A and B are shown apart, each in its own frame.
Chain A
Amino acid sequence: MRIVEPVQFALDDLAMKVFLEAINLAGGPRKLIEYRRLTWLPSLAEAAYAVVLANEEKKTEEEIAAFLGMTKVSVRNILRANPEDVLKRLEGDMKGQRRSHIAGGLAKLAYERVKGA
């Protein structure tokens, strides 16, 4: 009888790619230092995992929250963030902007870029 061994999904590899792309979108590591935004990094890492788990693994908000040790509401904010709003905010256009989860928006944009590459 032939039983196939599972071929594991490389979650960490993909989340890392999304994380690095999100840093690039935020202007790169030097800009994060210049603007005193290094504190964004943990949020970007969490958002990268959340976006990958939701899109690739079809995990629920509850499952993602349990995996990342966050609340369901935080996960929802990440997954509902509008990438365009976030980009405009980063470009300094604050007019009429709704509050959107910056790390979530960047991670979503980064995920699209990584998958499209």
Chain B
Amino acid sequence: MEDVVLEGVGTFKELSEKAPKLEGLPSGVEGLDELFFTTVVKDGKVVKKPLGGIPRYSVWNITGVADTGKSVLAEQFVLKQAALGHTCIFATLESPAPFVAMGLKNRCIAMGLDPELVEEKIIFLDGASYSQLRTSLQTFLNTLAYAIRTYRSQIVVVDSVTGLYETKEMMARDIVRGVFNFLKKWHQTALLISQKRSGHEDLTAEAAGGYAVSHIVDGSMVLSKVLITNRYEASFYRKPVGEIVRLFRIDGCRLCGHDTSTHLMEITDEGLVRIGPALSEILSRSSGKEQ
């Protein structure tokens, strides 16, 4: 008889007993939580209901070229969750942990939170100082498992997941699949930051390793920036020529409904990310003024 994996087959009813409840985790990013929603039936009609944040247990690809605000967005998320009492794991594979901690403390102050949160609620995996965390996938996962078990964490940020396959992007799919399955098994809500390469379109979910990351994970948040080079752009974005404008888009989410439009994004003087209005909204506002 052929091999059959009976455990892999089940009815929806059987599986739904294990299915987690859909709920949002506040991101700490102004304007982001409103972009996720679910649907409910009210008086016989299907109504859109805000989820209130990033869906719990989802694993995200946060991608964009350098200096678009990927790490800041992830940092605000962990700090908000830490402020709500949750222990979070921050796996840094690029910058050494003491430097990340310093940045997080500053971010804490900007968010009006107690910087002690970083000492108490954030657990670091320092792949910049311990190279085995970058070069051995199983060492990385073993260490993550230890941290999750020991500190009872439900939130993980990996900055950046590209660090696990920096010199071998053809292995990205296998590696990300391993990390994704691991995070799902441990019921984590996770943000995996991934770098873009020079040939990639700015506002797509494509990242180092191709579309591997975005195909495997639950959804992608894409960040990009535009240099204003002409009068039309200057008048549309209301910024002078030579300025940078940042854009943000949610590129798919398996777990819940989401806003699909491209939004303006801003990094404030305090160093915080804020999601602004949709570009379509800006266009209709400026057309209204012209009329």
Q: Interface of A with B (CB < 8 Å)? A: 1-9, 11, 56-60, 63
Contact = CB atoms under 8 A, between A and B. Distances in A.
Majority-rule SS of A interface residues: loop
Contacts of A60: 168, 170-171
B143 A7 contact: yes
A58 B137 contact: yes
Contacts of B142: 6-9
Interface in B107-162: 118-119, 122-126, 129-130, 132-133, 136-139, 142-143, 145-147, 150-151
Contacts of B150: 4
A13 to B, nearest CB: 11
Contacts of B201: none
B124 A63 contact: no
Contacts of B122: 1-2
B139 to A, nearest CB: 5
B101 interface: yes
A2 B123 contact: yes
Contacts of B124: 1-4
A61 to B, nearest CB: 10
Majority-rule SS of B interface residues: helix
A102 to B, nearest CB: 23
B101 A6 contact: no
B85 interface: no
Contacts of B247: none
Contacts of A1: 97-98, 101, 118-119, 122, 124
Contacts of A4: 123-125, 143, 146-147, 150
Interface in B159-198: 165, 168, 170-171, 174-175, 178
Nearest to A14: B138
A76 to B, nearest CB: 14
Contact of B138 (A2, A5, A9): A9
Interface residues of B, number: 32
Contacts, number: 63
A102 B168 CA distance: 28
A58 B171 contact: yes
Would you list the 10 A-B pairs with minimal beta carbon distance, nearest first? A9-B138, A7-B142, A9-B139, A58-B174, A7-B143, A3-B124, A4-B147, A7-B146, A6-B130, A1-B101
A49 to B, nearest CB: 14
9 contacts: A1-B119, A1-B124, A2-B124, A4-B124, A4-B125, A4-B143, A7-B145, A56-B138, A58-B178
A8 B131 CA distance: 11
A60 B165 CA distance: 10
Contact of B168 (A3, A56, A63): A63
A9 B97 contact: no
B173 to A, nearest CB: 9
B146 to A, nearest CB: 5
Interface string B79-110: 00000000000000000011001000000000
A18 to B, nearest CB: 14
A57 B133 CA distance: 11
Given A2-B123, A4-B123, A63-B168, A57 B138 contact: yes
A56 B137 contact: yes
Given A3-B129, A4-B125, A11-B136, 11 more contacts: A2-B122, A4-B143, A4-B147, A5-B130, A6-B132, A6-B133, A7-B143, A8-B136, A58-B137, A58-B171, A58-B174
Contacts of B165: 58
B119 A6 contact: no
Contacts of B178: 58
Given A1-B101, A4-B146, A4-B147, A9 B136 contact: yes
